[in-house]
Amino acid sequence: MENDGLIWYALLWLSFGAGHSLLAMPAGRGLLERLAGRADRLLYNLIAAIHLALVLWLGMLLLGGQAGFALPLPLRLAMDVAIGAGALILLIAGRSYDPARFFGLAQMRAGTPDRAIVPETLVTAGLNGVVRHPLYLGLLLLLWGDARAPFTGATALFATLYVLIGIHFEERKLKRLYGEVYTAYRARVPMLFPRFWRG
């Protein structure tokens, strides 16, 4: 029965990944623009938030009643550190991005759909000078720091798989947007894990 719950939860995450990716493709974005006009980005985020909340709620129903893992104290302390580091990274890195643009409010104010808005300047300083995707790094640290029971462990695993797949599509989009500037940045700065040595 426990394995059945895990399989169902994996399928729920697969549905989220497939749905989110389909809506991010040109045909999906075109559909959202036809439906919502200048609010297409807002609708995209709203659909993703509702879908993810549903996945997590059903996952909690499937796996949430199972006992937590018996973890040794040093590992629990390391996980506490990961949670703190993840939260700090998200807080610092989040300041480099425009939340109004991310959520779609800037597009609504400008009266233009997401595809027509001028791209943001590529941020390569601060935490973006350490890794190219600090927000993903912070999120993964939070998730794995909280992976102390079947539900949270499975959530960390499936979310990690989603991020690792999605990050490659995002890289292709960034390369299209910023061209050789992004190619040079990608050659200099690691994607997700800091490089503590030079070479």
The residue range of the domain holding 22 is 2-188
Give me the pLDDT at residue 197, please. Answer: 63
Beta-carbon contacts of residue 140 (< 8 Å; ≥ 6 apart): 86, 156, 159, 160, 163, 192
Of 43-52, 86-95, 112-121, which range is least confident? 112-121
Contacts 24+ apart (CB under 8 A), 184-191: 185/122, 185/124, 185/132, 186/132, 189/124, 189/128, 189/129, 189/130, 189/131, 189/132, 190/131, 190/132, 191/131, 191/132, 191/133, 191/167
Domain count for the chain, please give it.
1
pTM of structure: 0.89
Residue 16 inside a domain? The answer is yes
Work out the average pLDDT over 92-99: 88
Residue 194 inside a domain? The answer is no
Give me the pLDDT at residue 109, please. Answer: 87
Give me the pLDDT at residue 100, please. Answer: 85
Residue 195 inside a domain? The answer is no
Residue 193 inside a domain? The answer is no
Residue 199 inside a domain? The answer is no
pLDDT per position as a tens digit, 60-85: 999 998 999 999 999 999 999 999 99
pLDDT per position as a tens digit, 14-26: 999 999 989 988 8
pLDDT per position as a tens digit, 114-155: 888 888 888 899 999 999 999 999 999 999 999 999 999 999
- Provide the b/e sequence for 86-123 (b: ≥16 CB within 10 Å): beebbeebeeeeeeebebbebbbeeeebbeeeeeeeee
pLDDT per position as a tens digit, 159-184: 999 999 989 889 998 999 899 999 99
Q: Is the predicted pLDDT of residue 196 greater than 80, yes or no?
A: no
Residue 196 inside a domain? The answer is no
Structure tokens at 78: 């390391």
Residue 51 inside a domain? The answer is yes
pLDDT per position as a tens digit, 32-44: 999 999 999 999 9
Give me the pLDDT at residue 101, please. Answer: 86
Give me the pLDDT at residue 56, please. Answer: 97
Residue 55 inside a domain? The answer is yes
